Structure 1
Amino acid sequence: MIGPQVAWLPDGRRLHLNHGPIDLIVEVFGAREEKRHAYAQAADRFQTILTELVCELPELRRRADATPRKFESPTANRMERAVYRHAPAFITPMAAVAGSVADEIMAALIDGRTLDKAYVNNGGDIALHLAPGQSMAAAIAGTGHGLADRLVIDAADPVRGIATSGWRGRSFSLGIADAATVLARNAAEADAAATLIANAVDLPDHPAVTRVPANSLAPDSDLGERLVTQNVGALSPAEVAEALERGRAVAEDFRRRGMIEAAAVFLAGENRSVGSIALRAPTEELTRMLADA
Structure 2
Amino acid sequence: MEILRYAAFTTDPAGGNPAGVVLDATGADDAEMLRIAADLGYSESAFLIPKKDGRFEVRYFSPLAEVPFCGHATIASATAYAERHGPGLLRFDTRSGPVDVSTEAAPDGTTTATLVSPRPRTEPLADDDLAALLSALGWDRHDLDPALPPRVAFAGAWHPIVAAATRQRLADLDYDFARLGALMARRDWTTVDLVWRESPTVFHARNPFPPGGVVEDPATGAAAAALGGYLRELRLVDPPVTVTVHQGHDLGRPSLLRVGIPAEAGTGIAVTGTAVVLAG
**Same fold judged by TM-score > 0.5?**
no
Q: Which is richer in helix? A: 1
Question: Which is strand-richer, 1 or 2?
Answer: 2
TM-score by length of 2: 0.31
> Which has the larger Rg?
1
